[in-house]
Chains A and B, each alone.
Chain A
Amino acid sequence: MTVFVTQLHGDVGEAEFAGRRVVEVQVAWDEASRRRLRRTATDGTDVAIDVGPNSYLADGAVLHDDGERLLVVARSREPALLIRFDLGLPGAQLIEQATAVGHVFGNQHVPVDVVAGEVRVPLTTSEQIARATVDSLGLDGVTMTVSEVALGARAPLSVGHAHGAPG
């Protein structure tokens, strides 16, 4: 049987959902702002999501509640390059560094996620190339690791630039 989802019901952490059995529906970062999506939940339930525009399938969003079981969005964990800056540097230098990192990945049309001051870049190339992209900027104090993380857990990743945009 297919569960049709036409609206989101809040976040799994809210009090009204306490005690429910939680079944996850995996949604990747690039699918989270879709208005239509079909997935299979971890218990095998067929889920057809049609929530209209301006919805965001955040990690923890409740898709369905039948009083006993919740179908909940779980953001897939995917490999990403995690970039951290030396927060002891002068503010102007940090702004310059962050702008350079955003610009260089924007030129590759790769969106980025920023969480607690850490820039997270989905790995769309090899780790070596992704690291080299940042290394090429010659930024002081920047450290990088690669890890599997839940990108875009609460909001969409930033998108790249528009060619020929004014200013």
Chain B
Amino acid sequence: MSASAVRIGIGGPVGSGKTRLIERLLPLMSAAGLRVAVITNDLVTTEDAERVQRSGLIDPSLVVGVETGACPHTAIREDPSANLDAAERLEQDHGPLDVIVIESGGDNLAATFTNELVDYWVYVIDTAAGDDIPRKRRLGLLRGDLLLVNKIDLAPHVGADLARMRADVAVARPDRPSLFTDLTQPDGAEAVFSELRHAVLFDRAPAS
């Protein structure tokens, strides 16, 4: 049985709602008794890490920002060493941990996580970024363990056809789960957490 924390990746384009998803998940994980740490990636800032640290949702010492300094997908796939080192330090300094959430920097539709880094990953897209994204069918959308179509509340404001998106997602991902949500709502991540509990946390009580 794995002794280290379960690592959950969150990827997706810039502005899709990755950090917001983390902010919504943290209270749910805390309520479930899980001890969680967060690693965020940005190219040349630690702004996302600072945002989560300021949120009041988690002990700031459990949030680490990694400046990738290169294409974000490199740090979660081709060379995840910086993120692996950050995860190891968190476990050494704050263990035992139940979950480490790793947020990638905003990237293109082909970004994916290596299995060396994460046990499960969520791919987040923004409804307002175009209702044709599911039809473009790039790796991130196709292979993510969970696809989260966020900002569905914006659909009528940008002329996005949600019914079409749902149909396209069903074609692109017939065997993998997808959720449509509005993460500005307090309960916007409950279905996501339910999926995580089943798929990668195995509905078990925390080890810590």
Contact = CB atoms under 8 A, between A and B. Distances in A.
Interface string B120-149: 100000000000000001110011000000
B101 to A, nearest CB: 15
A108 B110 CA distance: 8
B1 A52 contact: yes
Contact of A34 (B70, B115, B142): B115
Contacts of B73: 109
Contacts of A50: 1-2, 202
A146 B137 CA distance: 18
Nearest to B116: A33
Contact of A110 (B1, B70, B139): B139
A52 B74 contact: no
Interface stretch (A67-75, A94-102, A155-163): A155-163
B78 interface: yes
Contact of B202 (A30, A33, A48): A48
Interface residues of A, number: 26
Given A52-B1, A52-B2, A159-B77, A34 B119 contact: yes
Nearest to B200: A36
B53 interface: no
B152 interface: no
Interface residues of B, number: 27
A154 interface: no
Contacts of A42: none
Contacts of B143: 30
A77 interface: no
A109 B110 contact: yes
Given A109-B73, A162-B78, A163-B70, A125 B2 contact: no
B114 interface: yes
Nearest to B69: A164
Contact of A163 (B78, B110, B138): B78
B120 A163 contact: no
Interface in A103-142: 108-110, 124-125
Given A30-B143, A108-B110, A110-B139, A38 B74 contact: no
Contacts of A33: 115-116
Contacts of A31: 115
Given A34-B115, A53-B2, A163-B71, 16 more contacts: A2-B202, A4-B202, A33-B115, A35-B119, A36-B120, A52-B2, A109-B77, A110-B139, A124-B138, A159-B78, A161-B78, A162-B74, A162-B78, A162-B79, A164-B74, A165-B79
5 contacts: A36-B6, A109-B112, A124-B137, A163-B71, A164-B74
A-B pairs with lowest CB-CB distance, top 7: A162-B78, A36-B119, A33-B115, A48-B202, A162-B79, A6-B1, A52-B2
